[in-house]
Amino acid sequence: MHPVIKPGSAQQATASSADGEVAARVLDLWKNGEDPLTIVATLRVHPRFVKEVLREYDELVNEWRKFKVA
């Protein structure tokens, strides 16, 4: 028996993978000292995407700090 593949599911997986790769690039540029506007221009992504990636990164770092202190 073959698995049932819903229409569009392969495209969603590819888009998620691509978003993850771009998010990793955003973080690399951010860690190298680039400002958000430069990241937007360099990667040609929407400013909201960059803002969301950096917000999630900041939340994760804060969680790790809490964990480390405890």
Read off the pLDDT of residues 49-61 as tens digits, 9 standing for 90 and up.
999 999 999 999 9
Confidence of residue 8 (pLDDT cuts 50, 70, 90): low
Please tell me the number of Cα atoms within 13 Å of 21 on its side-chain side: 7
Judge whether 64 lies within some domain: yes
Q: Name the domain count of the chain.
A: 1
Give the pair of three-digit tokens for residue 39: 């990241």
Using CA atoms of 39, 35, 28, 52 in order, give the dihedral in degrees to the nearest 10.
-70
Domain span at residue 56? Answer: 46-70
53 in Cβ contact with 27 (< 8 Å): yes
pTM of the predicted model, to two decimals?
0.69
> Is 50 among the domain residues?
yes
* Cβ within 8 Å of residue 46, ≥6 positions away: 40
At 14-66, the pLDDT tens digits run 667 889 999 999 999 999 999 999 999 999 999 999 999 999 999 999 998 88
